[in-house]
Each structure stands twice: as C-alpha cells, then as structure tokens.
Amino acid sequence: MKGLGELHIPGDTFYSDDHEWAKKAGDLIRVGISDFAQDQMGDIVYVELPGIGTHHDAGVEFGVVESVKTVSDCLMPIAGEVVAVNAALDGSPGLVNESPYADGWMMDVKPDDPGCLDALMDEAAYRVFLEKG
Amino acid sequence: MVESGAKRTPLNDWHRAHGASMAIFGGYDMPLWYTAGAKAEHLAVINGCGMFDTSHMAVLRLTGPDIHEFLQWCFSRDLERCVGRQKAPLTPGRAVYGVFLNEAGGVVDDVILFQTEPDVYLAVVNAGMGAHATHHVLNYIDTCEDSCNVLISDLTDKVGKIDLQGPLAGLVMREVLADPGRVLDAMPYFSFKGSLYGSPTDRIGDVRLKDGTPVLLSRSGYTGEFGFEVFVEPGKLVGAWEVIFEAGQRYGLLPCGLAARDSLRAGAVLPLSHQDNGNWRYIENPWSVALPYNDDGTAFTKDFLGRRALESSPPSYFTRPFAGFDMRKIAPAIAPPVVVDSAGKVIGIVLTCVTDMGIDRVDGAIVSIASPERPDGFVPRGLCCGFVKVNRWLPAGERIVLRGAKREIPVVITDDIRPGRTARKSMETMLSYTQTPQGRTT
C-alpha cells in the first residue's frame, strides 16, 4: 500500500469521502476514483460504467469497479447527467491503476449545480481526511 | 503500520521494503501483492515462476510408538494405500493431502502429512490452526483402542516456509541447491527430501542450499503449478528467501502475495480450508482423494474418525466447482451470495468466487495462457471461478446464477477450471522447460 506521502493528490481536483474525484472540464465535470482508492483495491480487472444520458443524484451508485480482491460500488461525487464515459476502460481497466486522474477517468457529467464542487474536499482537506484514516 | 496483535513472519520487513500491500490473514500480517500487482504475479506463476512467504502455515510434529495407528484413526488417508496410482503405503520421503475430521464428519482442518521417518510425521495445517489441530488430535487419543503412546508438538512459528511455484521453478531451484543433480533426481509429485535441521540421522537425504542452509524440499504447493515448498528454520528464512529471489531474477521470478495465491489455487480446484470445507460433512466435494476410498469408490478401506457420520445418511450438501463467462465475480457481502438454479430456486451458497486472470473462453471452452492449443495472440481477460455448496448434485455443464446483493452472474458447473496446469509434470520435463513467457498482458 502506498504511504500518504506517495499518494498522488492533484491540486486542481476535488474529492468525495468515498474517494471519487471530480474536476472541471469546460462546462462539464470529469469523474474518476482517487489514487488512494485504486491503490487500496489492487489490480482492477473490470469497470462497469453508467449509460450515457442517465441522471444520478450525489451519493448514489453510478458504476462498479472490480479488482482482483473485491467488487466496489462507485458513488456519484456530484449530481448530474452522464454525457460521456471512458470507453477505453472496457478493454483496459488497468488504466485506472496506472493513471487514475488522466487516462483512467470514468465519465463526464453535466452537473445539476455548476457550483457543486464546493461541497467536496480540496487537496488539503482530502489529505487531512486520509491522514485521519 | 502493523495492526496490533497481528503476528509477523521473519520476512515482514522484506515484504514492506519491497512495496507489498499488507493485510491480516489467519492472524498474520501478510503480503496481498507487491508492486507488480496480483495479476502479474498470477500470470508469472502460470508462465514463469513466483515465490510466496507461507510461514504463516502451522506445523505439527507427530511421533511415538503408536503414531501410525493413531493417524490411521484421526487422519483421513489410509496410510497403507495412499501413494501414487498404485496406492502404495506412505514411506519416509512421501507426503499426502488429507483432513482431520470431527465425529460429525466436519473438517477440523486440512493437512499435508509428511512422513520424515518411520514413526515421525510433520503435519502442515493452516495459519493459526496449530493449537486447534493439536488440541483436536490430542482429544482423540482417548478414543484409540488400548493405550496410545504418541507425542504431538505444535511447531507454530518454529518453521519458516517458502513456496517456489511455476514452470521455471525447477531451473531456479537447480541454481540454489548445493547438489542439485542428486536432490532433483527421482523427485515425483508429493515427495520430499532433506530436513529442517539437517539431522544426521535423517533417512531421506540431506538437502542444503549452496550456502549450507539445510532445508526440507518438497515437490508440492498450492497453485496447481509445478514447484516446491521449502521448509527452513525461521532464523534462516530471510537468507534462504534472498538466495532464491536473486537466482530467480533471470527467470522473471516475482514475489507473490495472498491474492495471487487465492486466485491460482481456485483455478486449480484446490480448497481454502474453513471456506470451501467446514462444519458440514466432508463428502461429495471435489477433494474425494482426501478420503480412503477403495478403487471403485464404493467403500472406505479403513475405519477413521468421522466415518460413521459420512456414511450415516445421504449427503445433504454437494460442493462443486464453477466457471463464469467473463471476469466479473460476485463479492462476498454480509450474507454469502446465493446459488439460483434454472427454475429460479435458491439451492445453495457461494463458497469461493475469484477471477483466474490466466484463463478465458475460446468458442465456449476454457483456455489458459499455458494451454498448448491457445490461439495466436491469446490475451485472457480472466474468468470468474470458484466453488458453490448446493443441496443437490449438479452435473458439469449445468448453468446456475450466482446472486449477490447487487448483481447476478451466470456461471456453469464444471469438473475442472484452469487447463494446462503443470503441478504433476515430471521433474525431467520441467528442468528442460524453455518456453519463453507468453501471454503476459501487463
């Protein structure tokens, strides 16, 4: 398991207490799981993503990430409508391990509330959250 | 950080220094996987070689003038008829897999029994089970006929163990042994040589690493692949591990954690004790070899503890292997996932469900990265597989559905899972193994 100092926690990104991340991508919000989450899960073998056009409230399940060890639900960090998903994860789920914030992104969401990121943790707050365990 | 109360093997610092993700298993702080990841480790053992710290396993030493009669009563194998296809008697230098059953026919633990001398045996049981298994067998001394003069010592934490597994394991072992030609000659599956302390009275030869470390070297393991279990005293475990690790580098050897161990053993149709067996009668499961059946499987060849319960009434449960159609598995939740038959009826529970990352289906049939008949460029996505415990016999080919809290997965009952396994191949074949690793997907 990575130590706290080894975890990648980008500064332009916001985090939920379920270890999903969200960051602005134009008018949309891009969503994935954090370096901490992928490190805890181990090798990811399958990612199940939602249908385009589906709407999900914050905190509800939008997908499933399956590793060698476990099957975990992914929870919406914000509320909104799914407008795109990362099709590359279908054939290469390991991208979530290799590049959780870039090539391993999961979906783009049109947020219900453009100010929704304010409800999430920034880098410093997420770091404190992880330290508390 | 080690959670308080968890035991450590002598290799704990090594695991952490090499980036292992650790977790508590059987009361020990053990590696789940190292930096290569569980998938790469799993594939390395099928195509190349990997090594596991298995020092969490407990060992009992059993001896005394009446030990043979005692084991004939409380161990499930018939020691007079258990070695090879000829069903020869167990002799020094041979090992057998079996179980300790209780009177109700339930499993106390599964065991690999090594006969080191005519009246001395080592029993390898599971992590944390040393005291329990010792207590259990001692309890039954009273049920032996006449007096029963046996001495049983719990060697928990007094034996280190390294599993070197995979088709290239023989080539690695040849480089680290002091006298490899002699040691590796005439060493069939489930045989062993040497001893933990290099005892001069030992009747089954002396096995040493090049640096003089005495080891007990057994051709066995828990992956379904060719390889060895190396028993060594704990003070020499780290040195032995490093010698093997270094020699293995040119063969692509990876240190492997419990995740790969679990997925490899499930694909090889090997049980995890207390998960795939337990407090239900040990019968009608894939491991009937552990019971002392006669040649046509119609009766037992000896009386033993638990026999009466096994024979008392028709089986209530049947344990069967299954394989899915893709890598998706069903996660154990608070309640175990259930098994649903084609009529929609719940008929049992899921015992083990993992993904074997070395296999996939080609035209419906299961193919492994080690299968000679695999198509060119075969890159498996992995298949979900494991064991179900159901209330009626299910033939191979019958489709069932595994239903968890959130998803359902269709799978099919099968007699075997990962094809092309190497565990039983001859030493000669494996020492001439030159196939370059293929099919690696990471």
* Amino acid identity at B173: M
**What is the average pLDDT across A85-107?**
97
Q: Is A43 on the interface with B (CB under 8 A)?
A: yes
Asked if A42 and B354 come within 8 Å (Cβ–Cβ), the reply is no
- pLDDT category of residue A1 using cuts at 50, 70 and 90: confident
pLDDT above 50: residue B438: no
What are the residues whose beta carbons fall under 8 Å from the beta carbon of B436, sequence distance 6 or more? none
**What is the average pLDDT across B328-343?**
87
Nearest to B96 by CA among B79, B118, B109, B120: B79
B315 in helix, strand or coil?
Answer: coil
Asked if A68 and B263 come within 8 Å (Cβ–Cβ), the reply is yes
Q: Is the ipTM of this complex over 0.90?
A: no
pLDDT at B142: 63
Interface of A with B in 11-40 (CB under 8 A): 39
pLDDT above 70: residue B203: no
Asked if A45 and B33 come within 8 Å (Cβ–Cβ), the reply is no
pLDDT above 80: residue B439: no
| B60, β-bridge pairs | B123, B154
- pLDDT category of residue B138 using cuts at 50, 70 and 90: confident
How far apart are the C-alpha atoms of B252 and B131, rounded to whole Å?
A: 38
**Per-residue pLDDT reduced to its tens digit, B392-402:** 999 999 999 99
Among A39, A45, A61, the residue with its CB nearest the CB of B357 is A45
pLDDT at B394: 98
What are the residues whose beta carbons fall under 8 Å from the beta carbon of B189, sequence distance 6 or more? B219, B220, B423, B424
Give, rounded to a whole angstrom, the gap between the first and last alpha carbons of chain B.
29
Nearest to A23 by CA among A126, A117, A106, A118: A117
Nearest to B252 by CA among B436, B18, B418: B436
Say if CB B310 and CB B293 are below 8 A apart: no
Mean pLDDT of all residues belonging to chain B: 93
Range of lowest pLDDT (A52-56, B222-226, B332-336): B332-336
**Per-residue pLDDT reduced to its tens digit, A97-120:** 999 999 999 999 999 999 999 999
pLDDT at B440: 36
How far apart are the C-alpha atoms of A99 and A96, rounded to whole Å?
A: 6
**A contacts of B30 (beta carbons < 8 Å):** none
Work out whether strand B28-33 and strand B21-25 pair parallel, antiparallel, or are unpaired: antiparallel
**A contacts of B42 (beta carbons < 8 Å):** 68
Asked if B331 and A97 come within 8 Å (Cβ–Cβ), the reply is no
- Look up residue B308 and give its two tokens: 């009466």
**Which of B1, B45, B355 is the best mutation test for A, with the most CBs of A within 10 A?**
B355
pTM: 0.93
Asked if B259 and A68 come within 8 Å (Cβ–Cβ), the reply is yes
User: b/e per residue, B19-45, with b = 16+ CB within 10 A?
Assistant: ebbbbebbebbbbbbbebbbbbbbbbb
**B contacts of A66 (beta carbons < 8 Å):** 327-329, 355
- What angle do the packed helices B38-47 and B258-267 form, to 10 degrees? 50
